[in-house]
Copies of this chain bind each other. A is one copy, B any other.
């Protein structure tokens, strides 16, 4: 479907507004996002922005969805660029892309995984599906490795706590992913690992101690892949 000149321009300006919002959040913090400040920066009056977003909360929602998708796209693209039968390489690429994207877009990361913005209540049905895509990349490539008989979760993950296993099974049934609970468990575990590493990195808690956060991350990821038993 083709956009008219006017629609095209409209979309472009929507993008410019979001970019300005991101710049502003990067400078002042996610909670300081303000329509008036964006308008000021764009040399336009504040009411003009209402041509593009119904209100402040809709702008925030758009930024959140963009952020989830940006992160997922980056991970998916990196994973897809690896040879299909190199399962360790595929997961490694995804996890490296995760770090790279966060370093390039720290504000977006704070927006989706940091403290909520006061007064903002997002529409769950819009944001939740976008948020899950990143983990599908990890879960599905592990699932393929398993299906290909190239890999198995280490024995200990067959001994996860009963309550947890039961809940994972329920979720898997609900969502319909063709993976066993042990693999979903691993996905959640991987998530907590990389999330901890990156949150402490972007808020500058670990870098002053470890010096090279890149080497720190790589070393931790390597150990993680070994631990999981990916060859």
Q: A residues touching B (Cβ–Cβ < 8 Å)?
A: 28-32, 110, 113-119, 156, 160-161, 163-164, 166-168, 170-171, 184-185, 188-189, 191-197, 199-200, 203, 205-206, 208-212, 215-216, 218-220, 223, 227
Q: Does the CB pair A212–B167 fall under 8 Å?
A: yes
Q: Does the CB pair B191–A200 fall under 8 Å?
A: yes
- Some 14 contacts from A to B, beta carbons below 8 A apart, are A28-B118, A28-B119, A32-B118, A32-B119, A114-B115, A161-B218, A164-B210, A167-B209, A168-B209, A188-B206, A191-B205, A191-B206, A192-B206, A196-B199
Q: Given the complex, which residues of B lie within 8 Å of A184, measured CB to CB?
A: 209
Picked from B114, B156, B196, the residue with its CB within 8 Å of the CB of A193 is: B196
Q: Given the complex, which residues of B lie within 8 Å of A161, measured CB to CB?
A: 212, 215-216, 218-219
A160–B222 Cα distance when bound, in Å, is: 11
Q: Given the complex, which residues of B lie within 8 Å of A220, measured CB to CB?
A: 189, 192
Residues A156 and B210 in contact in the complex (CB < 8 Å), given A195-B200, A197-B196, A199-B196:
no
Q: Given the complex, which residues of B lie within 8 Å of A193, measured CB to CB?
A: 192-193, 196
Q: Does the CB pair A211–B114 fall under 8 Å?
A: no
Q: Does the CB pair A211–B166 fall under 8 Å?
A: yes
Q: Given the complex, which residues of B lie within 8 Å of A203, measured CB to CB?
A: 113
Picked from B117, B164, B209, B210, the residue with its CB within 8 Å of the CB of A31 is: B117
Q: Given the complex, which residues of B lie within 8 Å of A170, measured CB to CB?
A: 211
A205–B113 Cα distance when bound, in Å, is: 9
Q: Given the complex, which residues of B lie within 8 Å of A28, measured CB to CB?
A: 118-119
Q: Does the CB pair A116–B219 fall under 8 Å?
A: no
